[in-house]
Amino acid sequence: MWSDDEYAEWLLASQRGVLARAQVLSLGMTTEALRHRIRPGGSWQRLLPGVYLTVTGEPTREQREVAALLYAGQPSIITGPAALARYRIRGPAAATVDVLVPVGHEHASRAFVVTHRTRRMPQSWTVDRALRYAQPARAVVDTVAGLTGLAEARTVVASAIQQRRCSIGQIAAELRERHSAGHALLRAVLAEVADGTNSAAEGDLRDLIAKSDLPVPYYNPTLFLDGKFLARPDAWWPQAAVAVEMDSKEFHLLPEDWEQTMRRHRRMTAAGLSVLHLSPRQLHAEPRQVLTDIAAALRAGRPVPRITMRRSVA
């Protein structure tokens, strides 16, 4: 058994210095002593109703998240951009803490806490001492539901997949559980993936080509040289043996992924393919030049008879 001092020390460490009112009183502090500590100029501060930070100064991200869970109570779970940040998935800035709570829960949104009542409380979550986060696929779907731009939605999904936090299948399964029609953005991104567009940058390339006079390429087809696997370029024009590769370390975060991209380039050029490498910055800063370069490659290119293709399927 722990002593009271040991328990208090463990609780403060686990909750990053944040305590709920009931916890403070259970540790033996009187209501008068609590009021003294949270008075103007006192040594503690009130973050939310009934939730206190036991130090002064600006609370950290984790302290705000602990406070949100203490305010919402059991069995609340953090989702949305705050959960994405925990998994290091790219997404919108977490200005608030989104918390899942069961239907009928009494606590409403307050200050930096946004409560989302749901009949689908997660059955599993990630635990970091006192913090509880929805699994990555749930956090992705919950985040995209609050976005308005396709590019933002692509970035969230691409980051989650590229960093191997979850799979497209897991995201699609989570989406199938939703009964709301308000998930058009996510459905559009998943449709792109099913059509072979696997990252945010590739989605931007797709949009650029669709608005141009260029012939429509195959996206992410599997290429074979004399029947043996060669590569899976991001875009492919077989009539000219031209491939486009989106080269961004942002979406090849693991060193082995980047090295694999370079090996793939050497294989394709050795087989007679013309390979154009583009960066996301070029797509946004020099879209006309990108289209000009692709058009020139298509005019100069010729098919390579030894190359066969299998289209990408969902």
pLDDT classification of 229: cutoffs 50, 70, 90: very high
To which H or E segment does residue 65 belong? helix 61-72
Residue 247: C-alpha distances to residues 46, 213, 280 (Å): 48, 23, 8
- Total length of the chain: 314
pLDDT of residue 194: 62
pLDDT of residue 197: 61
Residue with tokens 């050795």: 270
pLDDT of residue 248: 60
Kindly report the backbone phi and psi dihedral angles of residue 234, in degrees, each rounded to the nearest multiple of 5, phi listed first: -70, -35
pLDDT, averaged across the chain? 89
pLDDT of residue 143: 96
CA dihedral 158, 161, 165, 166 (to 10 degrees): 120
pLDDT tens column, 135-162 = 999 999 999 999 998 888 988 998 898 7
Three-state SS at 184? helix
Residue 152: C-alpha distances to residues 82, 155, 170, 214, 287 (Å): 16, 5, 19, 26, 19
pLDDT of residue 125: 96
User: Kindly report the CA angle at 59 between 54 and 64, in degrees rounded to 5?
Assistant: 95
pTM comes to 0.69
- CA–CA dist 231, 220 (Å, integer): 9
pLDDT tens column, 72-123 = 998 999 999 999 999 999 999 989 999 999 998 888 899 999 999 999 999 9
* Between 247 and 20, the higher pLDDT residue: 20
What mean pLDDT comes out for the span 233-262? 74
Indicate whether 284 pLDDT > 70: yes
pLDDT of residue 2: 42
- CA–CA dist 312, 113 (Å, integer): 42
Token digits of residue 313: 């399927």
pLDDT tens column, 171-225 = 999 998 886 666 888 988 887 766 656 677 888 899 999 999 999 999 999 999 9
To which H or E segment does residue 279 belong? none
pLDDT of residue 235: 95
pLDDT of residue 314: 42
Beta strands in the chain (DSSP E): 18-20, 45-48, 51-53, 77-79, 97-102, 113-118, 125-128, 131-134, 218-219, 222-225, 228-231, 235-237, 242-246, 274-278, 307-310
pLDDT tens column, 264-283 = 888 999 999 999 999 888 88
pLDDT of residue 250: 44
- Residue 151: Cβ within 10 Å count: 14
